[in-house]
Amino acid sequence: MAKEIECPPCGEMIRGNNDDELVANVISHAKDHGHELGEADRGEILSTALEM
């Protein structure tokens, strides 16, 4: 199931074709844009993701 999540700091939509890809993309995006991931972990990321 493809999922997407809106990056809280910048509002960009981040998508993934599955849970693993979404989490990897979120982490990669955070690094690229200098966001602090803080306490966010895999479970937290997925709990706020939207199914497309």
Q: Which residues bind Zn ion (CB under 5 A)?
A: 7, 9-10, 12, 33
Are the C-beta atoms of residues 11 and 28 closer than 8 Å to each other? no
Q: Which is nearer to Zn ion, 7 or 46 (CB)?
A: 7
Q: Which is nearer to Zn ion, 37 or 52 (CB)?
A: 37
Residue nearest to Zn ion (CB): 7
Q: C-beta of 31: minimal distance to Zn ion in Å?
A: 10
